[in-house]
Structure 1
């Protein structure tokens, strides 16, 4: 009987400890830095572009967490896309921006690109996705010979 009681007591204490650990982890996750973007970052549309045109957009965000937001790196899915980001920590409640520059030279048709942000957030990566419809440039030599 004593063995059963001790076993039940151990299980009860262990499960209480596990809940406290989960609660502490969940509270910490709530305080971690968080991106809060001012717009939809999954469907930005540059619209229709003529091949060779360069465009850029600034994706503005706020750190909605309780700790400084540190962006470790930002990478693009293609060499035609160049991201720029703040190198200094973004404090709680402060704002920042990721500037995305897209060069449509050599592109044609629907373009879907991804820019991945690596930061001290949970999850550790955040994706910005954009699209553009690139039309072939009109041949200027054919028009001038008429």
Structure 2
């Protein structure tokens, strides 16, 4: 009888061990670790090709523009809610529709140099609906003949 009890005990242990293996395989199926599944859980994220653009030397009165290219490298749609800039000399054009994960888009900055002079550095703050903030900037050296005449008179 003791051999029979030992046999039943070993058979039961093997059966339960086999069930446990199946359970862990089921958990792997329910919790995939592939990149696509992980990316979907990651919040929206900006990734800019460049964050500062230098227009170089300009003359006052020139209007120049630059398109900042970015990609949503996160796993959720990225929606820009508003943009803050420190100067009325900048016009900012940005996508109003959500930028989907993996999608690329642009933010165009139009810089009007009337009334500007010297080395200028203009910061633009981009805000998303989910609270993400990102700063980009434009810079230029602006020659303004009117201001230079006033300074040279002294």
Give the TM-score normalised by structure 2: 0.65
Deviation at 1:91, TM superposition (A): 0.4
> Are 1:33 and 1:120, in contact at CA under 8 Å, matched by a contact in 2?
no
Q: Report the counterpart of residue 126 of structure 1 in structure 2.
A: 134
1:137, 1:99 → 2: CA distance? 28
> Are 1:52 and 1:105, in contact at CA under 8 Å, matched by a contact in 2?
yes
Moved over 3 A (4+): none
Deviation at 1:93, TM superposition (A): 0.3
Alignment partner of 1:63 is 2:72: yes
**Equivalent in 62, 70, 75 of residue 84 of structure 2:** 75
Q: Which has the higher contact order (CA 8 A, sep 6+)?
A: 1
Unaligned runs of 5+ in 1: 1-26, 139-146
Q: How many residues end up aligned between the 2 structures?
A: 108
Decide which structure has greater helix share: 2
1:85, 1:131 → 2: CA distance? 19
Deviation at 1:87, TM superposition (A): 0.2
1:38, 1:125 → 2: CA distance? 16
Give the TM-score normalised by structure 1: 0.69
Q: Report the counterpart of residue 34 of structure 1 in structure 2.
A: 45
